[in-house]
């Protein structure tokens, strides 16, 4: 696809309680913004310095923290029919930790992600936090927004290099590695609990944000060789592609074998075996599945050739094993609708 991955997404909005009032959060063009915080960048810096961090700003930071987090794909929705029921009690339960533990409060000082927990604030760690906050996107941003978007994995690579240059003063996730809580490996339990609680809060923003966060992660992961994350990505793809193919062919999802592959092909198993096999790249998740384009009017969409929401040109299969046809499609639901996107073919 020549267009960016987010070109098939419309904007999405949600409200979040911040400082005792309801504030808006807006996702558009791959970025999460907090329109009610015109000095969001400054607030983020203040938070990094140990000042109070408004809830909205904390969510923006969390969005960035989880923009390449494989846990998003593990917890997130598999289809539009897959409803998550997380609520604030779940996040609170995690935030307070197990019985007998100290509850996790937002720690004063630098944003913990990427900084060795418990270490005193240094100019290096402050610089690190600031880097993560502002290097999110190379493009110019309108005043009054702090954004997180794709490319987090690449930034992690840069940060890892910086970390090495700083003598290992920073902790950064290895690009391409699966990130999950690793008991007994020295990770900070408080930080891990907070990280998971933040993820639940992001999922609480609703299905529109759940799909967009999933797309963000898939897009970030598809930029690089999967490395040790290949098994997790293969499972994430299978968990979403198999139901789509099954719905397309009216077969059982268990009869669909999925694999990561650049070929974008659906074929028979061969050898008289039951079922089909499907190969798609990880980017199919961000470009096709997440915006609700997997199935359009009985066609399985395999790729996007041009997109500018609500219109897109796609390649789609009418039958397995056939050549994909070029179709023009359009999203029929409203631009800011929280409903499931409904795409229709407008030109064959």
How far apart are CB 19 and other proteins at their closest, in Å?
27
Which positions ≥6 away from 45 have C-beta within 8 Å? 130, 133
Q: Work out whether 277 is an interface residue with other proteins (CB under 8 A).
A: yes
Q: Work out whether 81 is an interface residue with other proteins (CB under 8 A).
A: yes
* Among 41, 40, 13, residue whose Cα is nearest residue 26: 13
189-228: which residues touch other proteins (CB under 8 A)?
Answer: 189, 192-193, 196, 200, 203
Q: Work out whether 13 is an interface residue with other proteins (CB under 8 A).
A: no
Q: Work out whether 310 is an interface residue with other proteins (CB under 8 A).
A: no
Cα–Cα distance measured from residue 83 to residue 15, given in angstroms and rounded to the nearest whole number: 19
Q: Which of 2, 20, 21, 98 binds other proteins (CB under 8 A)?
A: 98
Q: Work out whether 308 is an interface residue with other proteins (CB under 8 A).
A: no
DSSP string, 325-337: EEEEEEE-S-TT-
Q: Decide if 10 contacts 309 (C-beta within 8 A).
A: yes
How far apart are CB 207 and other proteins at their closest, in Å?
13
Q: Work out whether 167 is an interface residue with other proteins (CB under 8 A).
A: no
Q: Which of 253, 291, 292, 341 binds other proteins (CB under 8 A)?
A: 253
Q: Work out whether 52 is an interface residue with other proteins (CB under 8 A).
A: no
Only one residue has tokens 């898939």, namely 218
Q: Work out whether 103 is an interface residue with other proteins (CB under 8 A).
A: no
Q: Which of 7, 40, 178, 314 binds other proteins (CB under 8 A)?
A: 178
Which positions ≥6 away from 290 have C-beta within 8 Å? 9, 211, 212, 214, 215, 218
281-300: which residues touch other proteins (CB under 8 A)?
Answer: 298
Q: Decide if 141 contacts 147 (C-beta within 8 A).
A: yes
Q: Which of 88, 93, 332, 336 binds other proteins (CB under 8 A)?
A: 93
* Among 342, 238, 212, residue whose Cα is nearest residue 290: 212
Question: For 243, phi and psi rounded to 5 degrees?
Answer: -65, -35
Q: Which of 20, 140, 142, 183 binds other proteins (CB under 8 A)?
A: 183
How far apart are CB 99 and other proteins at their closest, in Å?
7
Q: Decide if 329 contacts 346 (C-beta within 8 A).
A: yes
Q: Decide if 17 contacts 54 (C-beta within 8 A).
A: no
Q: Work out whether 74 is an interface residue with other proteins (CB under 8 A).
A: yes
Q: Which of 157, 320, 328, 337 binds other proteins (CB under 8 A)?
A: 320
Q: Which segment (52-60, 132-140, 213-221, 252-260) binds other proteins by CB under 8 A?
A: 252-260
Helix ranges, 250-313 (H): 283-284
Cα–Cα distance measured from residue 314 to residue 326, given in angstroms and rounded to the nearest whole number: 6
Q: How many residues bind other proteins (CB under 8 A)?
A: 71
How far apart are CB 143 and other proteins at their closest, in Å?
36
Only one residue has tokens 């694999």, namely 259
Q: In terms of CB distance, is 105 or 335 closer to other proteins? A: 105
How far apart are CB 95 and other proteins at their closest, in Å?
11
Cα–Cα distance measured from residue 217 to residue 215, given in angstroms and rounded to the nearest whole number: 5
């Amino acid at each position: 696809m020549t267009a960016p991955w987010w070109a098939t997404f419309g904007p999405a909005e949600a409200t979040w309680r911040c400082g005792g009032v309801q504030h808006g959060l807006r996702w558009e063009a791959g970025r999460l913004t907090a329109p009610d915080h015109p000095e969001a960048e400054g607030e983020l810096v203040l938070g990094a310095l140990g000042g109070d961090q408004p809830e909205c700003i904390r969510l923006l930071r969390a969005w960035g923290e989880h923009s390449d987090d494989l846990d998003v794909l593990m917890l997130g929705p598999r289809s539009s029919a897959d409803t998550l029921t997380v609520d604030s009690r779940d996040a609170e339960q995690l935030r307070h930790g197990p019985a007998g533990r100290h509850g996790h409060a937002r720690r004063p000082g630098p944003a913990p992600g990427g900084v060795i927990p418990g270490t005193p604030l240094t100019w290096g760690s402050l610089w690190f936090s600031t880097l993560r906050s502002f290097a999110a996107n190379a493009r110019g941003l309108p005043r009054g927004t702090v954004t997180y978007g794709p490319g987090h994995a690449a930034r992690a690579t840069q940060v890892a290099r910086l970390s090495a240059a700083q003598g290992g003063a920073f902790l950064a996730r290895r690009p391409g590695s699966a990130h999950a809580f690793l008991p007994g490996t020295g990770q900070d339990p408080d930080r891990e609990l907070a990280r998971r609680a933040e993820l639940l809060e992001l999922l609480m923003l609703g299905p529109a944000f759940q799909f967009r966060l999933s797309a963000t992660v898939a897009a970030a992961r598809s930029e690089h060789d999967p490395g040790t994350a290949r098994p997790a990505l293969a499972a994430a793809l299978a968990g979403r592609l198999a139901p789509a193919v099954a719905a397309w062919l009216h077969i059982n999802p268990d009869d669909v074998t999925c694999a990561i592959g650049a070929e974008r092909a659906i074929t028979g198993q061969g050898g008289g075996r039951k079922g089909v096999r499907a190969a798609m790249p990880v980017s199919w998740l961000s470009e096709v599945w997440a915006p609700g384009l997997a199935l359009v009017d009985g066609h399985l969409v395999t790729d996007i050739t041009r997109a500018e929401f609500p219109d897109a040109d796609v390649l789609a299969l009418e039958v397995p094993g056939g050549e994909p046809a070029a179709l023009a499609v359009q999203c029929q639901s409203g631009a800011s609708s929280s409903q499931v996107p409904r795409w229709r073919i407008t030109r064959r």
